[in-house]
Amino acid sequence: MPTPTTVAIAAGWLAEEPPLPDRCVKHGEPAVRRATFAVRSHPRTSSRKRAFQPGYTSLNRAEEYACQVKLVKVSGWPLCRSCVRRRTIASTLAGVLFFGGVLAMIAGLVAGAVDDGPNHLPLVPILLGLAAVLLSPLPLRRAGLPRLARAAATADGSAVQVTDVSPAFTAQLPARGLA
Ligand SMILES: [Zn+2]
């Protein structure tokens, strides 16, 4: 097993929208699609202790987070066939969960309206449908572009750090693109 490699790409270089390698980060396979998205940093907000101080509200916390989070735009990120497939499966799954859930809720409501006896069964499809709708964003989050790209911005926003990079991707990065 090769050791996991991390590469830091300079944000200034990315801002020039240079041609990025034509191999995907994860599989090292040829790119079949290019994607543009924003990579964010993951700032550490104040410790829990401070959150319980009087006068320090969750609004302060959200504000602090918003000030600290840095966004770096990435254009033309390579995605290989497997990466694209993974995204397609995720969005299909999300769609099935969402619309299946909505249909189950409608079916439960209709069944409840038709049957006016003391029957609590329609509650089951309604609750299952609601659960499916609430869970539907999960597969999308798992196959989100920053996640797929294994990328996160550094705390100061000066670079995009990519973890576990395929050597095929790194080999095509010019020296001046490295942070
Ligand atoms: Zn891939």
Averaged over 140-166, what is the pLDDT?
90
Residue 8: what pLDDT? 95
Which is more confident, 123 or 161?
161
Residue 148 and residue 24 in contact, taking contact as beta carbons nearer than 8 Å: no
Please tell me which residue, 61 or 108, carries the higher pLDDT value.
108
Q: How far is the CA of 148 from the centre of ligand 1 (A)?
A: 8
Cα 90 to middle of ligand 1, angstroms? 15
List CB contacts of 177: < 8 A, sequence separation 6 or more: 9, 10, 13, 14, 18
Lowest-confidence segment of 23-37, 90-104, 115-129 by average pLDDT: 115-129
Mean pLDDT along residues 123-130: 91
Instruction: Please tell me what DSSP assigns to residue 175.
Output: G
CA of 84 to the centre of ligand 1 (A): 7
What's the 75 CA to ligand 1 centre distance in angstroms? Answer: 16
The predicted structure's pLDDT at residue 57: 78
CA 144-145-147 angle, to 5 degrees, is 70
Q: Give me 156's structure tokens.
A: 């100061």
What is the DSSP annotation of 61-108?
A: HHHHHHHH--EEEEEEEEEEHHHHHHHHHHHHHHHHHHHHHHHHHHHH
The total domain count for the chain is 1
CA 86/CA 148 separation, integer angstroms: 9
Q: Evaluate whether residue 1 is within a structural domain.
A: no
Structure tokens at 22: 């034509």
pLDDT for residue 116: 67
Q: Is residue 51 part of a domain?
A: yes
pLDDT of residue 3: 55
Instruction: Give the pLDDT score at 96.
Output: 96
Ligand 1 is an ion; its neighbours by CB within 5 Å are 24, 26-27, 80, 82-83
Q: For residue 1, what pLDDT band results from cuts at 50, 70 and 90?
A: very low
pLDDT category at 45 given cuts 50, 70, 90 is low
Mean pLDDT of 103-127: 81
What does the pLDDT read at residue 115? Answer: 73
Host domain of residue 69: 6-177
Task: Give helix then strand counts, H and E, for the chain.
Answer: 8, 5
